[in-house]
A and B are shown apart, each in its own frame.
Chain A
Amino acid sequence: EAGVTQFPSHSVIEKGQTVTLRCDPISGHDNLYWYRRVMGKEIKFLLHFVKESKQDESGMPNNRFLAERTGGTYSTLKVQPAELEDSGVYFCASSQQGAKNIQYFGAGTRLSVL
């Protein structure tokens, strides 16, 4: 069974550009989460989808970040326009509906904004 997969593994963009990160959860997992780790600090929660609905988006830093999960399968996280402070590693995780606290993480996307 495939784990959580994220694409790309690394993205280098210039300030002001747009980047879209993709996450494919484990098949059958209704819950999908985005987290990020910036500048070697703690990994911080961004938002939580249950199927295609946003359950909790309290961690989204500002309106330059847009997450979608159309159809309740894969999710995208778009940053537009990217700023220097958005650099970091963006992790996606998924969990089953009956065990939402047991979250399995992907390898992350390292975003470098120059």
Chain B
Amino acid sequence: GEDVEQSLFLSVREGDSSVINCTYTDSSSTYLYWYKQEPGAGLQLLTYIFSNMDMKQDQRLTVLLNKKDKHLSLRIADTQTGDSAIYFCAETSYSSASKIIFGSGTRLSIRP
């Protein structure tokens, strides 16, 4: 079945870039997403990329997709304390219909 894997923790110094990585197994993925969950808050759709794209940039966020290796990454430039959150990698595919398949989430912590 479909599976999405990501590391559980990442610690980054304030001002540096954060790179959160994710791998997935479904070769028929159509959309790949990054959701952000801040403490006590819901899931915020941060950005998404179509499977026929390699890269998407939105202000401090850069998403890279390597479809051959089934690898997705999220780069946050100039990481700030407000970026502290759990980041979920997720995907939908032709086989999963409209249900979103989530990874376990990566907790990003920022140190001064």
Q: Which residues of B contact A35 (CB under 8 A)?
A: 100, 102
Residue contact B99 to A59, C-beta cutoff 8 Å: yes
Q: Which residues of B contact A101 (CB under 8 A)?
A: 30-31, 92, 98, 100
Q: Which residues of B contact A40 (CB under 8 A)?
A: 104
Contact pick for B100, options A56, A103, A107, CB 8 Å? A103
Q: Which residues of A contact B97 (CB under 8 A)?
A: 48, 56
Q: Which residues of B contact A58 (CB under 8 A)?
A: 99
Question: Which residues A11-56 have CB closer than 8 A to chain B?
Answer: 31, 33, 35, 40-45, 48, 55-56
Residue contact B92 to A42, C-beta cutoff 8 Å: no
Question: Which residues A96-114 have CB closer than 8 A to chain B?
Answer: 100-108
| Interface assignment of A91: CB less than 8 Å from any CB of chain B | yes
Looking at B41, B45, B90, B98, the one whose CB has the most chain A CB atoms below 10 A away is: B98
Residue contact B42 to A105, C-beta cutoff 8 Å: yes
Q: Which residues of A contact B41 (CB under 8 A)?
A: 107
Residue contact A104 to B99, C-beta cutoff 8 Å: no
Whose C-beta in chain B lies nearest to the C-beta of A43?
B102
Residue contact B43 to A105, C-beta cutoff 8 Å: yes
Residue contact B99 to A45, C-beta cutoff 8 Å: yes
Known interface pairs A42-B104, A43-B88; A56-B99 also in contact (CB < 8 Å): yes
Contact pick for B42, options A33, A91, A95, CB 8 Å? A91
Interface string of B78-93 (1 = CB under 8 A from A): 0000000000101010
Whose C-beta in chain B lies nearest to the C-beta of A105?
B43
In the assembly, what is the distance between CA of A101 and CA of B92, in Å?
Answer: 7
Whose C-beta in chain B lies nearest to the C-beta of A103?
B100
Closest 5 CB pairs of A and B: A107-B42, A105-B43, A45-B99, A43-B102, A100-B98
